[in-house]
Amino acid sequence: MYMQNPVFIPGPTNMPEVLRRAVDMPTLDHRSALFAEILHPALRGVKAVLKTETAEIFVFPSTGTGGWETAITNTLSPGDRILAARNGMFSQRWIDMCQRHGLDVTVVETPWGDGIPADRFEEILTADRSHEIKAVLATHNETATGVRSDIAAVRRALDAAGHPALLYVDGVSSIASMDFRMDEWGVDIAVTGSQKGFMLPAGLAITAFSPRALALVDTAKLPRTFFDIRDMRRGYAANGYPYTPAVGLLNGLKLSTELLLAEGLDAVFARHRRIADGVRAAVRAWGMELCATAPALHSDTVSAVRTPAGFDATALVTHAATVYDVAFGVGLGEVAGKVFRIGHLGHLTDVMALSGLATAEMCMADLGLPVRLGSGVAAAQETYRATAATSARKAA
């Protein structure tokens, strides 16, 4: 059946109608001058969202996973040593990719629910006096656990250790929804995708390379063809791509960045924080806890909700889909069956979030959990009402 209910998964996210229409466009000759009018504004818009003046943007027909591969293959060589924390499914997948490419990964095992241990990174980097570690991987927002890590703290760890390793950040479920400061945080490569904060279908891997990262491209020895940013750079210079681009998605990206910048990045981030605060209030009213172990780690784009011991959280997700045609995210990896995930990013409003919370409550009641219908919704409503009143006073 055709579903009109909003989704509450952490990506792909709900699409505004105007962006859906932007993607749905007639065939365009991607070697014509018209394509340049889509391409270059899209690249400039991404730079503005990332808050960078110096990075170069490369957008591939792919997903965030392709962005990871773009980052490592363009800057590293077989046997290079990498430092990363494993604190969730997506940090694990990037680590696995590095290992498959023949990189030597020093893995800091971190409990799922915790953030990146910047202090431990500093110890390891300080001890690496010969500077064998070439890059540090950091997952800004671990989508599997709803944990936001402090990227500025990771940069401080590198600086305190006096270490020259580059900092690569997975911002797939944070960029365009939560504050990301590429230049200020000293990020060397940032990776994201089209299907989350940019509110588009999956299909674009969006990467940004600092001048330090770009300086490594010609000496990196890992094999690359499709993801070679040198070919992409030459294509951009000629107002094109080295192969057939996803023209409709790029047109959507152009408009998406325009919408985000028109709303104002601070307003975008505040909207996500407000919606997330309402979800967190609902979780407390249900008598449940988040997977994230401390408030400072709470993600503003996805909440992983721990269900009571002995209850299969996946059953709630299945029930929501089959009975109410509403999608939530299942738990992944070590938290499979222990959490369900509420995505609250991209094209979302307070009112839309309330419908998701109400559906979650119905599922809990249907499945016998001791949750009073309306309790979480009421808690979220109070949060949204208070925030709306504050915003109205500021506007006045």
Tokens 């270490």 belong to 163
End-to-end CA distance of the chain: 45
SS3 category, 326: coil
Q: How far apart are CA 304 and CA 159, in angstroms?
A: 32
In degrees, rounded to 5, the angle at the alpha carbon of residue 108 between the alpha carbons of residues 102 and 111 is 130
Q: What is the pLDDT of residue 387?
A: 84
Chain center to CA of 64 = 9
Q: How far apart are CA 81 and CA 378, in angstroms?
A: 51
SS3 category, 387: helix
State the amino acid at position 308 in one-letter form. Answer: P
Q: What is the pLDDT of residue 391?
A: 59
Q: Are 174 and 298 in contact (CB under 8 A)?
A: no
Q: Kindly give the confidence (pLDDT) of every residue in the chain, 396 residues in length, as a single tens digit, with 9 standing for 90 and above.
A: 456 899 999 999 999 999 999 999 999 999 899 999 999 999 999 999 999 999 999 999 999 999 999 999 999 999 999 999 999 999 999 999 999 999 999 999 999 999 999 999 999 999 999 999 999 999 999 999 999 999 999 999 999 999 999 999 999 999 999 999 999 999 999 999 999 999 999 999 999 999 999 999 999 999 999 999 999 999 999 999 999 999 999 999 999 999 999 999 999 999 999 999 999 999 999 999 999 999 999 999 999 999 999 999 999 999 999 999 999 999 999 999 999 999 999 999 999 999 999 999 999 999 999 999 999 999 999 999 998 756 544 544
CA contacts within 13 A on the Cβ side of 116? 29
CA diameter of the chain: 62
- Beta-bridge partner residues of 105: 82
Q: Are 362 and 376 in contact (CB under 8 A)?
A: no
- Which residues, other chains included, contact 363 with Cβ-Cβ below 8 Å and sequence gap of 6+? 316, 319, 320, 323, 324
Helix segments in the chain, DSSP class H = 17-23, 33-50, 64-73, 89-100, 118-127, 151-161, 211-214, 229-237, 247-263, 265-285, 313-324, 350-366, 375-395
Q: Per residue in 46-68, pLDDT tens?
A: 999 999 999 999 999 999 999 99
Q: What is the 3-state secondary structure (H, E, C) of 111-154?
A: CECECCCHHHHHHHHHHCCCCCEEEEEEECEECCCCEECCHHHH
pTM tops 0.75, yes or no: yes
Output the six-digit token pair for 192: 């994201």
Domains parsed from the chain with CATH numbers: 17-262 (3.40.640.10), 264-395 (3.90.1150.10)
Nearest to 75, CA basis, from 220, 234, 257: 220
Q: What is the pLDDT of residue 393?
A: 47
Residue 181 burial (C-beta neighbours within 10 Å; 0-12, 13-18, 19+): middle
Strand bridging mode 81-86 / 104-109: parallel
Q: How far apart are CA 129 and CA 317, in angstroms?
A: 49
**Segment holding 295, helix H or strand E:** none
